[in-house]
Amino acid sequence: MEITNVSEYEAIAKQKLPKMVYDYYASGAEDQWTLGENRNAFSRILFRPRILIDVSKIDMTTTVLGFKISMPIMIAPTAMQKMAHPDGEYATARAASAAGTIMTLSSWATSSVEEVASIGPGIRFFQLYVYKDRNVVAQLVRRAERAGFKAIALTVDTPRLGRREADIKNRFTLPPFLTLKNFEGLDLGKMDEANDSGLASYVAGQIDRTLSWKDVKWLQTITSLPILVKGVITAEDARMAVQAGVAGIIVSNHGARQLDYVPATIMALEEVVKAAQGRVPVFLDGGVRRGTDVFKALALGASGIFIGRPVVFSLAAEGEAGVRKVLQMLRDEFELTMALSGCRSLKEITRDHITTDWDIPRPRPLPRL
């Protein structure tokens, strides 16, 4: 069966993967309300396309933190990709590089920063969890710098792990043949079996619950790399992020895996964009499955989007070729959406190209009597 859209990869991944692994990738926190909402909220945004515009040439290129990429579609950090496919993060890095876009490597990758760098050129960001032992953090940041990573995406919504009931039921743990490669030499690469979720126990033991804005300042003293904060969903925190001197904000609810009943990221996006006042770029993470979703995010002020689950599901289904296809399908759909909306470049995508069900109704011209 020919795959014609991104969402079709999920069913194939479900067939192929062990239940524990599929559930880890697919599930959200508690009732999983936000998990559904991350997708559903996109359907409450409709287009106002402009017609009779010459759309014979469409330019999707953009720059992120000064790096030129082929399209505003990037790869979010997702952990433990070798559970999906033996090539894991190598395959994802190659696919991102071939597509001319950015890959973000997870702290909890099953391939190290050095291994991923070894696949060759590419613009890569490193997602960082802050461990209780700050020497571990400093060492990891230095290794990412040396391996040529261009930015740090600091995850700020995980002082504790969300309650992911599928992982509790499955007693989730990293398969014994895999390790969290970045921590292998530090004796932090293995995950113990636990009475609930092995990952929740690992986080409780290792990740620092005291993480605060002062640690963002500390991070700026140990690295010259730009720092993005990932996990901002309110105007208040967006303003604090700007004040703290971050290079960018990723609007994210951690794939609906942390606090349930937070809004969909596409719903939170505009609030954050307005609060940032154009002083830093704002990106969207969560729920993107179509090129139309990408356009909607940009119309609401995002500078680009990140995809997570589509990467691991396509990786499980077809390895590197699957990830390449996901990036290509999203690119093609986004280009078509731009053409049919009358936009030839990203700067032509405006708030007027969409209407949302939370907009104030537009005044209608009065009928002539």
Say whether 324 counts as a known binding-site residue. no
CB 217 within 8 A of CB 211: no
Q: Residue 56: which region, alpha, beta or left (left: phi > 0; alpha: psi -120 to 50)?
A: alpha
Q: Is 254 in the active site?
A: yes
Say whether 158 counts as a known binding-site residue. no
Tokens linked to 32: 């999983």
**Nearest alpha-carbon partner for 21 in 78, 100, 76:** 78
Say whether 162 counts as a known binding-site residue. no
Say whether 79 counts as a known binding-site residue. yes
Q: Read out DSSP for 325-347?
A: HHHHHHHHHHHHHHHHHT-SBGG
Say whether 95 counts as a known binding-site residue. no
Say whether 49 counts as a known binding-site residue. no
Say whether 134 counts as a known binding-site residue. no
Task: Identify the active-site residue in 85, 94, 181, 254.
Answer: 254
Tokens linked to 320: 């590197």
Say whether 331 counts as a known binding-site residue. no
Say whether 106 counts as a known binding-site residue. yes
Say whether 19 counts as a known binding-site residue. no
Distance CA 296, CA 292 (A): 6
CB burial of 275-307 (b: ≥16 within 10 Å; e: otherwise) equals bbeeebbbbbbbbbbbbbbbbbbbbbbbbbbbb
Distance CA 299, CA 49 (A): 12
Pairing relation of β-strands 124-128 and 73-75? unpaired
Say whether 151 counts as a known binding-site residue. no
Q: Which helix (DSSP H) or strand (DSSP E) does residue 155 occupy?
A: strand 151-155
Say whether 131 counts as a known binding-site residue. no
Catalytic residues: 254
Residues placed in the known binding site for glyoxylate: 24, 129, 164, 254, 257
Residues placed in the known binding site for FMN: 77-79, 106, 127, 155, 230, 252, 285-289, 308-309
Residues placed in the known binding site: 24, 77-79, 106, 127, 129, 155, 164, 230, 252, 254, 257, 285-289, 308-309
